[in-house]
Amino acid sequence: MQRIGVFVCWCGSNIAGTVDVQAVSDALAHEPGVVHSANYQYMCSQAGQNLIKEAIEEHKLTGIVVCSCSPRMHEATFRKTAAAAGLNPYMVEIANIREQCSWVHKDMATGTEKAIILGKAAVAKVNLNAPLTPGESPVTKRALVIGGGIAGIQTALDIADAGFPVDIVETKPTIGGKMAQLDKTFPTLDCAACILTPKMVDVAQNENIRIFSYSEVTDIKGFVGNFDVTIKKRARYVKEDICTGCGLCTEKCPMKNVPNEFNLGMDNRRAIYIPFAQAVPKVATIDPEHCNMLKNGKCGVCAKVCAAGAIDYKQQDEYISEKYGAIVAATGFNPISMDKFDEYAYSQSKDVITSLEFERLTNAAGPSSGHLVCPSDGRHPHTIVFVQCVGSRCASCSEKGKEYCSKICCMYTAKHAMLTRDKYPDTEVYVFYIDVRTPGKNFDEFYRRAAEEYGVKYIKGMVGKVSPENGKLHVQASDLLADKQLHIEADLVVLAAAIEPDKSARPLATMLTASMDTNDFFTEAHPKLRPVESPTAGVFLSGACQGPKDIPETVSQAGAAAAKVIGLLAKDKLTGNPCVANSNELMCNGCSSCERVCPYGAITYVDKEFRMPDRTTKVRRVASVNEAVCQGCGACTVACPSGAMDLKGFATKQIIAEVDAICK
């Protein structure tokens, strides 16, 4: 039996003005389990708190009820008071007789009566309370960053700077991501390589950072502070620690016609390759699909020319297991396929290209050494048409495009148009736009410069059809302001393809039990207040995997995610919310209903031995709640048909006791 103390607060006249506090404390004194009942002007004051502490000691109270303002106001205060007097803080219940009684009722009699009932409900609940202790779990002080683009790089650098070890897992042979493929960056036009490659070198040289390139995450288990991750290092057939990156093998390899993915297939590489000069790690990789030695055992040139002896045709995929305290998703984006938009003739003409291909075409390290040429025949283009929103803001068909705005296209197109006009003043540049969206520091000014100073022809309207005729591209489009249909003979058409999350994000989200939206962008824990966290504890979001972003935004978010990770890793132990679900194994059927409604993946199943009535033992599958992950919503308790699942602090019995007290 509990020994309960009741403390009724006057809150000056806030409560006492409408509620007869003496009558309330008198009435509650007779409730089952109540051994002490008092009232005081301000329970939250130091004097009021002392009153409570003294009563706890004097009457050996095992639980208290404070009839006062909303628990949202002072529950924490009174829990601390109780703890200070040696009482478990979760043995405190608040009856909200201010916000939900004295302030909404005018009549003293009704107010008093309701306050008594609310008090009785709180007493009834406290009678069934049990001391709760928040679970503690240790924190592995190491972070995993999945994705080695600018988002992953920045997050890793910031975490490493705070002194925590970080691993980056990147599927490509090098880190750098999309930014490494860009030429210049808006709105300042600094060269992407000039600002990115020093950061890549920093990553390589940072003692706290390990890079797993050409690798992928294949399994994630565990929970916040304690993730167990399996990383598959794909065989690159080159010993990473021995290869010096001299590049001789990539010159001697006889397989010359492998499409170079770094240049989006616009030129070729060899079967053994280093994606680009500043790759990190600067190590060669053999592409097993094209290597003759690996395919049929005939060749071996690279091994012969490698002075360091780094080539290893027998290399196998390697699986690495590591523990992490926090995981950052930084899986980035890709332009969508242009297959479904063939009215723009992307598949029919080499001179219809995407904006990312345009970046490579203008990049000094690109397939044309930075000379802007028509990919079909290498001639200099005189008329270039840029088409905006290809597949963005497209609601007609989900297989075709994306309903959202891709956010970055307006600005990079302004950049492309401006740079083209700057370098080749003899070109005519048209930009067909629906809206020009430039919210960002110095963004609109940049766009206006393209139009005003560089003479880029911005046309409000849309291209309807591109027809490759006689080596030219016949562009048919609308000019909505002039109310005309235009026919332009262009040399090059550049499509601003919508961007979508990388395909690896969906399986990763499944492994992380992190939620995603219908477009496969990761969902944030709160769209405004927790924008870099996933609802799944210990999982953070960096860059375009959360939504379309430009570089400055990505870097800010990357830093924010790092700050959150550092905040987590700085703790030695994680203290949870003790009001968590718990499963009664004897009653659990193992049916998985609770697991399916849990938004946090906090419920797993274990096979457990049970003694049967006939003294044999049988193994049954039962639910097990990970208290460090459970947030205590209670969805599982109702999904469970047998009532095996309950919620500490809001147990079925406690709530029923409140219902009974109120309805009595």
Question: What mask, x for binding another protein by CB under 8 A, covers residues 363 to 392?
Answer: --------------------------x---
Among 41-49, 101-109, 221-229, 245-253, which window interacts with another protein (CB under 8 A)? 101-109
Cβ distance to another protein smaller for residue 58 or 343: 343
Alpha helix stretches (DSSP H) within 372-514: 409-423, 443-452, 505-512
Q: Give yes or no for residue 130 binding another protein (CB under 8 A).
A: no
DSSP assignment, residue 451?
Answer: H
- Distances in Å between the Cα of 405 and the Cα atoms of 493, 494, 542 are 21, 18, 19
Q: Give yes or no for residue 653 binding another protein (CB under 8 A).
A: yes
Position of tokens 């990147």? 170
Coil, strand or helix at 408: coil
Region of 483 on the Ramachandran plot (φ > 0 left; ψ -120 to 50 alpha; else beta): left
Among 463, 496, 509, 512, binds another protein (CB under 8 A): 463
Q: Give yes or no for residue 111 binding another protein (CB under 8 A).
A: yes
Among 103, 164, 273, 430, binds another protein (CB under 8 A): 103
Cβ distance to another protein smaller for residue 329 or 647: 647
CB 588 within 8 A of CB 642: yes
Positions in 65-94 near another protein (CB under 8 A):
70-72
How many residues make contact with another protein (CB under 8 A)?
Answer: 99
Positions in 16-75 near another protein (CB under 8 A):
70-72
Q: Give yes or no for residue 252 binding another protein (CB under 8 A).
A: no
Cβ distance to another protein smaller for residue 125 or 416: 125
Among 277, 395, 482, 570, binds another protein (CB under 8 A): 395
Among 467, 504, 604, 624, binds another protein (CB under 8 A): 467
Q: Give yes or no for residue 571 binding another protein (CB under 8 A).
A: no
* Least distance from another protein to the Cβ atom of residue 69, Å: 9
Residue 410's contacts (CB-CB under 8 Å, 6 or more residues apart) are 388, 433, 436, 437, 438, 447
Among 235, 588, 625, 629, binds another protein (CB under 8 A): 588
Pairing, β 209-212 against β 190-191 = unpaired
Among 30-38, 115-123, 142-150, 547-555, which window interacts with another protein (CB under 8 A)? 115-123
Pairing, β 272-273 against β 285-286 = antiparallel
CB 390 within 8 A of CB 355: no
CA–CA separation, 514 and 516 (whole Å): 7
Positions in 309-328 near another protein (CB under 8 A):
none
Cβ distance to another protein smaller for residue 132 or 566: 132
Among 210, 448, 460, 608, binds another protein (CB under 8 A): 460
CB 236 within 8 A of CB 288: no
Which residues, in sequence order, are bridge partners of residue 399?
none
Q: Give yes or no for residue 624 binding another protein (CB under 8 A).
A: no
* Structure tokens belonging to residue 319: 């699986």
* Structure tokens belonging to residue 298: 């005939």
DSSP assignment, residue 439?
Answer: -
Q: Is the peptide bond before 281 cis (omega within 30 degrees of 0)?
A: yes
Burial readout 56-66 (b: 16 or more C-beta within 10 A, e: otherwise): beeeebbbbbb
- Selection from 270, 300, 305, 286 nearest residue 237 by Cα: 286
Cβ distance to another protein smaller for residue 257 or 396: 396
Positions in 481-510 near another protein (CB under 8 A):
483, 485
* Structure tokens belonging to residue 423: 């370098």
Among 147-155, 230-238, 338-346, 356-364, which window interacts with another protein (CB under 8 A)? 338-346
Handedness of CA 596, 600, 601, 604 (dihedral sign): negative
Q: Give yes or no for residue 535 binding another protein (CB under 8 A).
A: yes
Among 29, 54, 599, 606, binds another protein (CB under 8 A): 599
Among 474, 504, 552, 566, binds another protein (CB under 8 A): 474
Q: Give yes or no for residue 538 binding another protein (CB under 8 A).
A: no
CB 209 within 8 A of CB 164: no
Cβ distance to another protein smaller for residue 49 or 583: 583
Cβ distance to another protein smaller for residue 29 or 587: 587
* Least distance from another protein to the Cβ atom of residue 506, Å: 17
Coil, strand or helix at 210: strand
Q: Give yes or no for residue 472 binding another protein (CB under 8 A).
A: no
Cβ distance to another protein smaller for residue 310 or 661: 661
Backbone angles phi, psi at 623, to 5 degrees: -75, 145
Which residues, in sequence order, are bridge partners of residue 49?
none
CB 132 within 8 A of CB 649: yes
Burial readout 538-563 (b: 16 or more C-beta within 10 A, e: otherwise): bbbbbbbbbbbbbbebbbebbbbbbb
Q: Give yes or no for residue 631 binding another protein (CB under 8 A).
A: yes
Q: Give yes or no for residue 523 binding another protein (CB under 8 A).
A: yes
- Distances in Å between the Cα of 253 and the Cα atoms of 86, 298, 367, 431 are 76, 12, 19, 42
Q: Give yes or no for residue 401 binding another protein (CB under 8 A).
A: yes
Among 32-40, 105-113, 166-174, 370-378, which window interacts with another protein (CB under 8 A)? 105-113
* Least distance from another protein to the Cβ atom of residue 465, Å: 6
Among 100, 278, 383, 504, binds another protein (CB under 8 A): 100
CB 582 within 8 A of CB 646: yes
Among 65, 466, 509, 555, binds another protein (CB under 8 A): 466
Which amino acid is located at 405 in the chain?
C
* Least distance from another protein to the Cβ atom of residue 548, Å: 17
Positions in 187-206 near another protein (CB under 8 A):
none
Cβ distance to another protein smaller for residue 347 or 519: 347
CA–CA separation, 590 and 640 (whole Å): 10
Among 77, 292, 478, 504, binds another protein (CB under 8 A): 478
Q: Give yes or no for residue 641 binding another protein (CB under 8 A).
A: yes
